[in-house]
Amino acid sequence: MPREYKAHFDLRMGRLMVVLSVFLVVGVIALVVLALWAVLRRAPHGRSGVAIEVARLSEPDRATARSHLRREWQGASVALVAGLASCVAMWQLGAAQPEWHGLPYALAGGVGALVGLLALNLVPPAPWPSDHRRLRVGELSPRGSLSFSRQWVFALPLAAAALLLLSLILTGLYSSTDDNGLHRVYTRRSLSGWGVEDGQVVDLQYHLSATSPFPGGYYGVPVMISTIVFAIAVYLTLRRTALAPRPNSRALFAVDTAMRTLRTRFVMTASSAALGFHIAGIGLVTGITLRSAHMEAVPTTDLNVAADHVPVEPGYTLAIVLILSSVAIAVAALILLVRAIRTVTEAMTAVTAAGEPATHGIPS
């Protein structure tokens, strides 16, 4: 196949892949938006687990449970507001300090999650009342950080964090330094020029070009540190939730378990949402950078027109896959954030239910 004909063939195939990639992106976004709409439009049916357990209590125990639930949703609300405000503050810091090359943007999710967890732990739970006239009841089953939810709820975020750390190590190895000596660019060989003799392309010239931002060591090391600290903070929060003292009355055990489960769900959904936005942001920036880096100029015999560009495989397709995956992860993180907000509203609803007349049967 002649060189010029092959170049035009590659150009047509490259344009076809770009069109297909656009359709794929639009299709994936449409699907995830529909899925998100389906989740959000479905109103919860019946009462939550906490509300059901509260409805079974006697009037004095319901008043005690109500004070605990009120403190629970207040603490979760403060944590949500503090975390989101910290993210906004980091974005404003990134816009105000352009010489930091977007580092605050990369750390926004981790900083927001850490501030939210700190706020959640600073709001102390209401203590269970001590009644010396009642017989003290204990339980022999041990409680740990993983006691109040299914195991996969903890395994998936942990695996995602490990994958993020591994990805940052790999991108750090493939990164190069910019003019300031910061590891934040991706370098590759690209066509810089050519000559034309007797209607033929000759004397191809190449040079090293850099594309940024790329998650090298400049971004990767701070993000890895924040991710590790974030994972430790989640573990300590779950451990504190699990090891908190039980109430003296066995009648309150079921409500106490439901409240710990609700708090665990809030911690895991909110922290998983922050981790998801973390991964999606870094993946999207990396995919866009790699997509731009894997476009090559096509030599042409007409030097009066601008050269066309064709994708270089497999890097171009891998970049598109990374972009699509990042969009899907971002939507999943948004759904988790909505679930965390709904957990807070569930606790608020349970407080309202605790003020209703007691029904010692199972509510319908």
Give the domain ranges of the chain. Answer: 3-125+146-354
Question: Cβ(97)–Cβ(105) under 8 Å?
Answer: no
pTM comes to: 0.76
Long-range Cβ contact pairs of 304-312 (< 8 A, separation 24 or more): 308/11, 309/14, 310/7, 310/10, 310/11, 310/13, 310/14, 311/14, 311/17, 311/18
Q: For the purposes of burial, counting CB atoms within 10 Å of the CB of 126, is it exposed (0-12), middle (13-18) or buried (19 or more)? A: middle
The whole-number pLDDT of residue 349 equals 76
d(CA 22, CA 191): 26
> Which pair of structure tokens corresponds to residue 50?
């906490």
Residue 46's pLDDT is 44
Q: Are 216 and 168 in contact (CB under 8 A)?
A: no
So what's the pLDDT on residue 257?
A: 83
What is residue 68's three-state secondary structure?
Answer: helix
The one-digit pLDDT tens for each residue of the chain (364 residues) are 444 444 444 445 445 444 444 554 555 555 555 545 544 454 444 445 666 777 677 677 777 777 778 888 888 889 999 999 999 999 899 889 988 888 998 898 889 999 999 998 887 766 666 655 555 555 556 666 666 667 666 777 888 888 888 888 988 888 888 888 888 888 877 776 677 777 677 677 777 778 888 888 999 999 999 999 989 999 999 888 888 777 777 777 888 888 888 888 899 888 888 888 888 888 888 888 888 888 887 777 666 666 677 777 777 888 888 888 888 888 888 888 888 888 888 877 777 766 554 444 443 3
How far the first Cα of the chain sits from its last, in Å, is 75
Residue 278 · residue 161 · CB < 8 Å? no
Give the per-residue pLDDT at 172.
Answer: 87
* 3-class secondary-structure state, position 90: helix
Cα dihedral 69, 235, 240, 276 in deg (nearest 10): -20
Helix, strand or coil, per DSSP, at residue 306: coil
The predicted structure's pLDDT at residue 115: 93
Q: Whole-angstrom Cα distance, residue 260 to residue 302?
A: 72
pLDDT for residue 93: 92
**pLDDT confidence of residue 222:** 93
Q: Which residue has the tokens 């209703």?
A: 356
Cα 218 to chain centroid, rounded: 21
- H helix intervals, the chain: 3-41, 49-55, 59-96, 103-122, 151-174, 217-243, 253-293, 315-354
Q: How far apart are CA 324 and CA 302, in angstroms?
A: 36
